[in-house]
Structure 1
Amino acid sequence: MPKSKKQQKVHHKLKRALARDEEEEVLKKLERRIDEYDPAKDEDSMTQFEELPITEQTLKGLKEASFVKMTEIQKKTIPIALKGEDLMSTAKTGSGKTLAFLVPTIELLIRNKTSEYDGLTALIVLPTRELSVQIFEVLTKIGKYNNFSAGLVIGGKDFKFEKDRISKMNILIGTPGRISQHLNESVGLEVSNFQVLVLDEADRCLDMGFKKQIDNIIGHLPASRQTMLFSATQTDNIKDLARLSLTNPRRIGGNTLGVDGSDSQEVSLSSIPETLSQFYIRIPLDEKLDVLWSFIKSHLKSKILVFFSSSKQVQYTYETFRQLQPGISLLKLYGRNKQTTRLETITKFARSQHSCLFATDIVARGLDFPTIDWVIQVDCPEDAATYVHRVGRCARFGRKGNSLAMLLPSEEEGMLARLKANKIEPKFMNIKSKNKKSIRPQLQSLCFKDPILKNLGQRAFISYYRSIFVQKDKDIFKIDALPTEKFAASLGLPGAPKIKIKGGQGAKEKKNMSRKLVALEQTNDDGEEANDKGDKVRTKYDRMFERKNQTVLSDHYLNLAGTKKAQTQAEDEEDDSDDDFMKVKRKDHDLNLDELPDLNKPVSKRAEKKALSKKMSLTGNATKLKFDDDGVAHPLYELEDEDDFKAKGSAKDQKESFVSKETVAMNEADIEDMLTVKEKKKEKKRRRKEMERRMNESSDDEDANIEQDMEYSSGEEPDSKKPKWFQNDKHVKKNDDVLEIDEPETLEDLESLTQRLLQE
C-alpha cells in the first residue's frame, strides 16, 4: 500500500537521523585513529592518502585531482596537524606543502560540523596574489564534495564586491594587506568560531614588510586556535615567529629550536632537490644580455624562467627581445602589472610547452609551473634563501631540471661562499666565445629609432644600480666594481644616465621605524635631540620663532637678491637639482626698512580681514599697460595734460569741432548703409523672379505629360488653352453650385487665390 504524507515525513526524518548517527560514528572512529597515531611508529607505514584518518569526501576530491601518494612532508605533517597541534614546517620546494595544510584544514572543519552560519573558521595567508590564486584552485578541487564555503581575497579586485559576500565564507585565502583590510572594515566578518590559521611562506611575508598587517590579523583572531607555518626556508629569528602566538609548536624539518629562542642560528635551508642540476658562469656585466640571447636561441624547444632584480629590467628585456624575435614565445611578469594581466600570464606560461618568462622575485615563491626545463638567474640573488626559492621553480615532485646563475667576477667569491655554507655547490660552466652572439648593434638601433624604448633602457640601467646599492651583503654586491659605461653600451644607450639614489642602505628600515624611538635614540647627554652629525635638531617651534617678516624679506627673495647670507645658506645646503647651473640674478634694491610696517604690533581682526580681502588685493598697482611701436609701455587709459588741452583752443570750440566731424562721418556711414540695403533688395527680387520662372517651366512640363498620358472616359477633349500657374486645380476646384477653395500654403498661393476670387 502507498504510504501517506505523514508516514513519508516520519520515514524521511528517521532516514536523516540514521544518516546523522552514521556520520557521527564515522567521525568518532576518525577521532580515535587520530588519537592513537604515533609519529615515531606509523610515519613509515603510511604512503597513500587513503591510509590517513580522513573522510570519504576529502578522499574522493583528492583522487579526482590525481593526488594518491603522499610526499615526505605530507607524511610528517598531516597526521600531526590532524591532532590539532601547532606546527612550524620547513620542506623542499615542490615537495607538496599545499596539501600538507589544506587537508588538515578541511578535516578540522568537517569534524567541527562547520556551516555557513558559523562565519570565518579558517584563514590561509600568503605573500603574493599568484600563490593565493593557485592555492584557492587546489582547494576547490579537493574540497568540492564538502558543504563549507571558501573565498579568495587579494589586491586588485573589487573590495566592495568582496565585502558584500565575505560574511558567508568559512575559509578565506588571500594576501595580508587585503585580509587585514577586511578584518578592519567588513562588518559582517564574524571570527568568534575561528579555528585554523595557516601562514604559508612565513619568512617571505615578514621580509616583504607585512609585519603590521600580520599583527593586525592576529589581533582580530581568538587565542584558542590552531596555527600552522609553512615555508621552503625558515629563519631562526624567534621573535618574529613567536609573536604569532604559537602554543608548543612541533618543528618539522630544519632545526629543532623552541619558541623561547634559547638557541640562535641564522638560517636553516632545506636541501635542493636531487634531480636539479645546478650551474653557474662567470661573466662581465656588459655581456649578460648577449649570453641570455644566445642561450634562448639555442634552447627554443625548452621552457625557460629568467629572473631579474627589478621590474624595469624585465620590461626592457622583454620589449627588445620581442622586437628581435628569437623564435620562442616571450612573456613577462612583475608586481606592478594589473591583476588580470598577471593571472593571464601565469595561465599562459603554465599551459605552454615551449616559452620563456622574464620575471622578478614575485614568481620565486610557491608558484607551481609544470615541466620547467631551465631557471636562469641573470642577476645575482639577494641571499642563499632567494637562490633556493628561485631554483625551486623547476625539478618539482621528482622531475628533472636545470639552473644557471650568472655571477659577476666581483660577486663570484662571496656568493659561492654563502651557498657553500648552506651545502649548495653549483658547478662551473664555461661558455665558448663562438657560441655567443652579440646583439649590441641591434639594441643601439632600436633605442635610436624609438625614444620610448631608449627611456626604458635608461630606467633599467638606473634600477639595476639601485638594486645593487640597497643590498646588505657588501661582500657580494660591490657597486664600485661595476663598469658603468660598458653596461650602458650593452643596453644600446649612447651613454650612462645620471644616477640619483635617495635613502641608501637601511632606508626601508628607517622609514618603518617609530618616530618616537628614533627621537629617543638621537637624544644626547644634555637631553636635547641630535641628528646624525651630532648637531642639535631644530623642531618646528624653533623654525617658527626663527622666521623673519616673510611678507617682506622671504628666503626666496634673499636668494634672488644674492645677499651674502643667502649665499652662505646655499653653500651649506645640498641641492640635488640637475638645473642648478642656471641662476637668476637681480640688482639689489634700496629698501628703507624704517618705512616698513611693524609686524610685531598687534593688529585688529577687522584690519586683518580688510587687508586679506580680495578687493584690497586688486587695488594699488594693478594697472594694465600697452606698448607702442617703439616698445615703450603706456597705461591703457592716459589723461591728456591740461596745458596741451588748452593749446588746442577752448573747450566749446573743441566740442563743436568734434561733433561736426562725427556728424559728417555718420552721414557718410548712413549713405553707405542705404546703398547696401538697396543692393540687398534688388538681389532678393532677382532671386524671387528666378524662382517663379523655374516653377512655371516645371508646371508646363507636367501639363504636357498629363495631356499625353491621360485618357478621358467621357470622350471630352481637354482645353487647349494652358491655364496659368495660379489657376491650378490644386488651389481652386469649381463645380456648378459650389466653389471649393483649398487652404493657401505659401504667400504666392495666397496672392493667386486673391486674384482668382476677384475675377470670379
Structure 2
Amino acid sequence: MSGPRSRNKKQQSTKRVNEKQLKRERDVKELQELERQIRDFDPKDVTAFSELPISKFTSVGLKQSHFTTMTDIQKASIPVALKGKDVLGAAKTGSGKTLAFLIPLLEALYRNQWTQHDGLGALVISPTRELAIQIFDVLRKIGRAHSFSAGLVIGGKDVQVERDRISRLNILVCTPGRMLQHMDQAAGFEMGNLKMLVLDEADRILDMGFRKTIDAIVQHLPKHRQTLLFSATQTRSVADLARLSLSPNAAEYISAHEKASSSTPTNLQQYYVITPLPDKLDTLFGFLKTHLKAKILVFASSSKQVRYMFEAFKTLHPGIPLMHLHGRQKQTARIDVTDRFAESRYACLFCTDIAARGLDFPSVDWVVQIDAPEDAETYIHRVGRTARFDSSGRALLLLTPSEQEGMQAKLVAKKVPIEKITIKESKKRSIRADLQALCFRNPEIKYLAQKAFISYCKSIFIQKDKSIFKFAELPAEEFAESLGLPGAPRIKFLSSQRSKELKNASQLNLSVDSESEDASEDRGKSQTKETVRTKYDRMFERRNQNVLSQHYMNLIKDEDATARKPDEDEDDGFMSVKRRDHELSDSSASEADTEQRDRNSRPVTTTEIDNAPVSNRQAKAALSKKAMLKYKQNPTKLLFDDEGKPHAIYEFEDEEDFKKHGKAEEQKTEFINREEQRMREVDMVDKAIAKEKRKEKKRKHRERERLAEKDDVSDGYDEEGMEGSEVDDVPIGGGKRKKWFEEEGRAKRAKADVVEIDQPKTLEDLEALSLSLLNQ
C-alpha cells in the first residue's frame, strides 16, 4: 500500500514544481512584453489610464479606486517617468500630481521584481504631515493589488515602533525631519538599493527650512536612481534643488500649464476687498453669518491668531460649525480635524499655511485669506484648496490699504486674475464690543488676544517684501482695541530692536566725538569727550548692594595684600585677596622672577600678560566669572582606576600605537584565542561548583533516608528523649512530619487494642475472665 501513496506524492510535488516554473516563465514573458510596450509607447492622444503600458496590478487598483481619466500633468509626466527619466514637474494646484508620481513608482518596483528582502526601493518626501498622510492613503488605494510593503513615517508618532519596522519596508512616505532621524538612529536601515526618490511640493520643503535636511538625505542616497520633483510653482530654490537631485542628462522639465493665461484654475473666481486692519474681524464675522451653508477655509499668518479666532468665534456663535488646524496641535488632533472637515458638508476651518499645500478637501466653496500671503506663490497654493479638478470655487483676499498696491502688482506678475469688490454696509456687523466684554469676563481669551496681537505684528515685521508689509504703518492701538484689549501689549522684539539701534547710535556718536577731538587737538583747541560707561563699570561702582560688594572692591584694590601682619586676626582677611601673584616658584627662582612679581604688585594703568598690554576694562572683565567662561575649555569628565590615576571616559589608541602590537588580523586572532582560553577556565570553575552542589544535595538526601529508618527517632528525638543537635532541622520519615489528626488516629487505634475489664470479686467472675482470655 505504501508504494502507490509514495508515487502519488512524488507526482503531486512534481506537478507543483512544474506549475511554479510555468508561472515564473509567464511572469518573465509579461515583464518583457511590458518593457517592449513602454519603449514603443506614443503618448499622443492618450486620455485614460487603461491606455497606459502599466501592469495589471496597478490597473486593478486604479479601476477599483475609480480613477479613469488622466489630467494634463499626468498625460505629460507619466509616460516620461515610465521610461526611467528624471522629471521636474510643475502644474496648477489640484491637477492630480499625486498619481503622476505614484503610478511610475509602483511600476518601477514591479518591473524590477522587488520583494520584501530587497529593502527600501522608493522614498516619497512631503513637507507636511497632513500631505504625507494623504499621499499614503492614495498609495494604499491604487497599490492594493501589489505585494509591496509600505509605511508612513511622520512626526508625532512613536519613534520606537517606526524604528522596528522601517527596515522591512519597500515604499516609504515621510517628512524630512523624521526621515533624517531614522537615518541616524535606526539600526539595519539601508538605502543603498533605492530606485526612486520623489519630492512633492519641493518649493515648500525648502521654504519651511528643510534645505540642509534634504541635502543630508540626498547625499546618503545612491547616485543611480530615478528622481521626480513636483510643485505647483517653480522658484529659484527649486532649480537649485533640481541641480542637486536630478541627473543632468536624463532630466526633463514638464509644465502642464506653462502656456496658460492664468496660474490658477480657470473655474476659480477670485476677489479681494480693501479693509482696514481693525475691521478685519468684523468683516470675517459678517462673511460667516451670510454664508452659513458653505464649506469655508480661513487662512491666517500664525497659529496664535488661529487659536484666538476659533475660541472667540466659538463663543459668539456665528451659526456654522467651527474647527481649527495649526502646527502646535498634537498629531492625533490634526488628523481628527482634517478628517472631520473633509467629511463635513458645511463648516469653517481656521488654519495656517500648514493646510495650504497639497491637501485635498472635497467640495470647498470659499477660501478666505484674512491675512495677506507672504508672496504670490503662497497665494496660489492657498486658493488651490478649492476649484480642484473639474469643480468650481471662489476665493476672497482681505488687504489693508498699505498692502493693496504691492500685493496687486505681485499677483498680476504671476498671471493671477483677481477682481476688486466692496462689501455692502448692510452685511457688516461690528463685534468689537462683544470681544471686549469677552476678554473682560474670560482671562484666557484675553491672553490669547495678546498673543495674537504680538504674533501678527511679528509676522509683519519679519516679512522680506517691505513693499507690501509696512510695519511702521500698522495702527497698533486700534488693532488691539479690535481684538478686545484695553491697550496695545508691549512687544519684546521691538524693545530689543530699539536697544540695538540706540547702541549703534551711541557707538556712532562716540566715533564722531573721537574724530572731532582729534581734529581739535590738531588745531590746538581743547574739547571735552563724552565717555561711554559699560555694564562692567556700573558693576564695579556699586556699593552696599549685597554681601559680595566689598569683595568686588577688594578684587580691584591696588594694594599689596601680602603686607598683612602675622598677628592680625584671620577674620580680617575674609573675602579679600591675599596674593595678587599666584605663580609658584622653587628655591632656585631667579631675581628676574622676583622683579616681575614686584612689578605686578604695584598699581599700573595697563597689565602686562605675556608681554601683551591689557586695558583696565579688560582687566576688570577678567575678574567677572561670567565674562571668563568663554575663555575656558569644554568641561571634561575623568575616571580613576584602582591606583588613583585619572583616565578619560573614552581612550583611543593612535594608529601608530595600534600598529606596534602587530597586524590587525594577528591581534584579532590573538584576542579570540585569549578570550576562548579565559572562557574555558571560567567554565571549568563553574562546573566544579555545580558538581559540589550536587554532591551536597545527595549527602543530605541520604542523611534524611537514614534518619527515617530509625524508629526511635521518629519524633525527632534521640534515645534519651533529648532533641538531636545534628538533625533537628531535617524532617523525619522522608521529609514529611505527622499531622495532628494523624497522631490522634494512631492513639485511638492503640487504645482500641487494649481490653478494659472490671476487678473480679467472686469465683464466677474469675472463671468468666479465664474463659475470655483463653478464647483470645
Shorter chain as denominator, the TM-score bin is 0.5 to 0.7
**Corresponding residue number in structure 1 for 2:212:** 212
C-alpha displacement of 1:254: 7.3
Residues of 1 paired with 2:262 and 2:120: CA distance? 33
Asked if structure 1 preserves the Cα contact closer than 8 Å seen for 2:261 and 2:415, the reply is: no
Asked if structure 1 preserves the Cα contact closer than 8 Å seen for 2:88 and 2:242, the reply is: no
Asked if structure 2 preserves the Cα contact closer than 8 Å seen for 1:149 and 1:169, the reply is: yes
**Corresponding residue number in structure 2 for 1:708:** none
**Corresponding residue number in structure 2 for 1:31:** 35
Given the superposition, is the C-alpha separation of residues 159 and 587 from structure 1 closer, same or farther in structure 2, using an over 3 Å criterion? closer
Alignment of 1:671-682 (within 5 A): none
- Say if 2:240 is the partner of 1:239: yes
Residues of 1 paired with 2:496 and 2:109: CA distance? 48
Superposed CA offset, 1:388-445 (max 9, x none): 0000000001101000000111101110111111111211111011210001111001
Q: Give the length in aligned residue pairs.
A: 530
Asked if structure 1 preserves the Cα contact closer than 8 Å seen for 2:270 and 2:396, the reply is: yes
**Corresponding residue number in structure 2 for 1:9:** 13
Residues of 2 paired with 1:20 and 1:188: CA distance? 31
Amino acid at match of 1:470: I
**Corresponding residue number in structure 1 for 2:143:** 143
C-alpha displacement of 1:240: 3.3
C-alpha displacement of 1:215: 1.1
Residues of 2 paired with 1:355 and 1:167: CA distance? 41
Secondary structure, counterpart of 1:234 in structure 2: coil
C-alpha displacement of 1:502: 6.8
Aligned partner of 1:561 among 543, 549, 557? 543
**Corresponding residue number in structure 2 for 1:453:** 445
Asked if structure 2 preserves the Cα contact closer than 8 Å seen for 1:234 and 1:268, the reply is: no
C-alpha displacement of 1:174: 0.6
Aligned partner of 2:253 among 246, 251, 254? 251
Secondary structure, counterpart of 1:460 in structure 2: helix
Residues of 2 paired with 1:504 and 1:55: CA distance? 62
Superposed CA offset, 1:568-588 (max 9, x none): xxxxxxxxxxxxxxx99x999
**Corresponding residue number in structure 2 for 1:740:** none
Residues of 2 paired with 1:78 and 1:431: CA distance? 46
Secondary structure, counterpart of 1:197 in structure 2: strand
Secondary structure, counterpart of 2:367 in structure 1: strand
TM-score, normalised via structure 2 length: 0.65
Residues of 2 paired with 1:187 and 1:271: CA distance? 45
Residues of 2 paired with 1:503 and 1:395: CA distance? 44
Superposed CA offset, 1:354-381 (max 9, x none): 0000000010000000000000000001
C-alpha displacement of 1:236: 3.3
Given the superposition, is the C-alpha separation of residues 255 and 271 from structure 1 closer, same or farther in structure 2, using an over 3 Å criterion? closer
Asked if structure 2 preserves the Cα contact closer than 8 Å seen for 1:233 and 1:270, the reply is: no
Superposed CA offset, 1:233-292 (max 9, x none): 111343332122433310101799xxxxxxxxxx99972101100000001000000010
Superposed CA offset, 1:302-348 (max 9, x none): 00000000111000000000011111110000111101110110000
Residues of 2 paired with 1:401 and 1:587: CA distance? 75
Alignment of 1:564-583 (within 5 A): none
Secondary structure, counterpart of 1:28 in structure 2: helix
Residues of 2 paired with 1:72 and 1:345: CA distance? 31
Asked if structure 2 preserves the Cα contact closer than 8 Å seen for 1:469 and 1:504, the reply is: no
**Corresponding residue number in structure 1 for 2:156:** 156
C-alpha displacement of 1:558: 2.3
Asked if structure 1 preserves the Cα contact closer than 8 Å seen for 2:540 and 2:553, the reply is: no
TM-score, normalised via structure 1 length: 0.66
Residues of 1 paired with 2:201 and 2:261: CA distance? 13
Superposed CA offset, 1:640-674 (max 9, x none): xxxxxxxxxxxxxxxxxxxxxxxxxxxxxxxxxxx
Secondary structure, counterpart of 1:453 in structure 2: helix
Amino acid at match of 1:407: L
Aligned partner of 2:287 among 282, 295, 319? 295
Asked if structure 1 preserves the Cα contact closer than 8 Å seen for 2:310 and 2:322, the reply is: yes
Given the superposition, is the C-alpha separation of residues 199 and 590 from structure 1 closer, same or farther in structure 2, using an over 3 Å criterion? closer
C-alpha displacement of 1:597: 2.3
Amino acid at match of 1:12: R
Superposed CA offset, 1:527-567 (max 9, x none): xxxx99999xxxxxxxxxxxxxxxxx98785264399xxxx
- Say if 2:336 is the partner of 1:344: yes
Asked if structure 2 preserves the Cα contact closer than 8 Å seen for 1:232 and 1:270, the reply is: no
Residues of 2 paired with 1:432 and 1:390: CA distance? 26
Superposed CA offset, 1:507-528 (max 9, x none): xxxxxxxxxxxxxxxxxxxxxx
Residues of 2 paired with 1:534 and 1:190: CA distance? 61
**Corresponding residue number in structure 2 for 1:50:** 50
Amino acid at match of 1:33: Q
Superposed CA offset, 1:702-749 (max 9, x none): xxxxxxxxxxxxxxxxxxxxxxxxxxxxxxxxxxxxxxxxxxxxxxxx
Asked if structure 2 preserves the Cα contact closer than 8 Å seen for 1:78 and 1:104, the reply is: yes
C-alpha displacement of 1:57: 0.8
Secondary structure, counterpart of 2:77 in structure 1: helix
Residues of 2 paired with 1:397 and 1:598: CA distance? 85
Given the superposition, is the C-alpha separation of residues 13 and 142 from structure 1 closer, same or farther in structure 2, using an over 3 Å criterion? same
Residues of 1 paired with 2:341 and 2:488: CA distance? 34
Residues of 1 paired with 2:510 and 2:24: CA distance? 75
Residues of 2 paired with 1:533 and 1:78: CA distance? 66
Residues of 1 paired with 2:119 and 2:190: CA distance? 5
Aligned partner of 1:326 among 318, 322, 327? 318
**Corresponding residue number in structure 2 for 1:85:** 85
Structure 2: tracts of 5 or more residues without a match: 498-506, 512-534, 562-575, 586-776
Residues of 2 paired with 1:195 and 1:588: CA distance? 70
Given the superposition, is the C-alpha separation of residues 26 and 164 from structure 1 closer, same or farther in structure 2, using an over 3 Å criterion? same
Superposed CA offset, 1:15-74 (max 9, x none): 122122112111111111111124xxx33x211111000011111111111111111111
Asked if structure 2 preserves the Cα contact closer than 8 Å seen for 1:92 and 1:232, the reply is: yes
**Corresponding residue number in structure 1 for 2:571:** none
**Corresponding residue number in structure 2 for 1:125:** 125
Alignment of 1:310-459 (within 5 A): 310-459=302-451
Asked if structure 2 preserves the Cα contact closer than 8 Å seen for 1:236 and 1:268, the reply is: no
**Corresponding residue number in structure 2 for 1:76:** 76
Stretch moving more, 245-254 or 492-501: 245-254
Residues of 1 paired with 2:314 and 2:468: CA distance? 32
Residues of 2 paired with 1:206 and 1:443: CA distance? 38
Amino acid at match of 1:390: R
C-alpha displacement of 1:500: 2.0
Secondary structure, counterpart of 1:561 in structure 2: coil
Given the superposition, is the C-alpha separation of residues 144 and 37 from structure 1 closer, same or farther in structure 2, using an over 3 Å criterion? same
Secondary structure, counterpart of 2:335 in structure 1: helix
Given the superposition, is the C-alpha separation of residues 270 and 61 from structure 1 closer, same or farther in structure 2, using an over 3 Å criterion? farther
Aligned partner of 2:582 among 598, 602, 611? 602
C-alpha displacement of 1:148: 1.0
**Corresponding residue number in structure 2 for 1:112:** 112
Given the superposition, is the C-alpha separation of residues 301 and 180 from structure 1 closer, same or farther in structure 2, using an over 3 Å criterion? same
C-alpha displacement of 1:180: 1.0
C-alpha displacement of 1:10: 1.2
Asked if structure 2 preserves the Cα contact closer than 8 Å seen for 1:30 and 1:54, the reply is: yes
C-alpha displacement of 1:231: 0.4
Asked if structure 2 preserves the Cα contact closer than 8 Å seen for 1:561 and 1:588, the reply is: no
**Corresponding residue number in structure 2 for 1:180:** 180
Residues of 1 paired with 2:309 and 2:113: CA distance? 53
Structure 1: tracts of 5 or more residues without a match: 257-266, 506-530, 536-552, 564-582, 606-760
Secondary structure, counterpart of 2:73 in structure 1: helix
Asked if structure 2 preserves the Cα contact closer than 8 Å seen for 1:233 and 1:269, the reply is: no
Asked if structure 2 preserves the Cα contact closer than 8 Å seen for 1:92 and 1:270, the reply is: no
**Corresponding residue number in structure 2 for 1:488:** 480
Given the superposition, is the C-alpha separation of residues 158 and 559 from structure 1 closer, same or farther in structure 2, using an over 3 Å criterion? farther
C-alpha displacement of 1:14: 1.2
**Corresponding residue number in structure 1 for 2:698:** none
Stretch moving more, 184-193 or 166-175: 184-193
Residues of 1 paired with 2:417 and 2:544: CA distance? 64
Stretch moving more, 134-143 or 421-430: 421-430
